[in-house]
Amino acid sequence: MTEQKQFKPYPDGGSLRSSAVKKGAKSPDYWGSIAVNLKDMTKIEVIDGLHVIKLSGWKKVDNSGKTYLSIAVDRFVPESSGSAPRQSAAQDDDVPF
């Protein structure tokens, strides 16, 4: 007998899969989940009291040949956004010249 692996979510990752059967016009075309570590969420935009989390997605094919959408939280913040640039590990005092 083959043993099934226990699904373990990746931080900031998830997937959307096509619904096999739609029970009505309001039934979703896709279903899924995403695992988000809210403690580490920074630079979240708040619009009218709603926290906006940007997502990225990739079209993939699973082992059974079914297409699905792999999704992830998009934490990229461009430097031109006015935020402070990321600090490197070396400080100015550490530079020998």
Q: What is the pTM of this model?
A: 0.63
Mean pLDDT of the region 32-42? 84
Instruction: Return d(Cα 23, Cα 21) in angstroms, integer.
Output: 6
SS3 92: helix
Share of the chain above pLDDT 70, in %: 71
With 70 as the cut, is the pLDDT of residue 55 above it?
yes
Shortest CA distance to 58 belongs to which of 44, 73, 48, 68? Answer: 68
Which segments within the chain are labelled E, that is strand? 13-18, 30-35, 45-47, 50-52, 55-61, 67-73
Q: Is residue 20 within 8 Å of 59, Cβ to Cβ?
A: no
> How is the chain split into domains, by residue range?
9-19+30-75
Neighbours of 76 (CB within 10 A): 9
Could you say which DSSP state residue 95 is in? -
pLDDT, position 77: 67
Q: What sign does the CA torsion over 20, 21, 27, 33 have?
A: negative
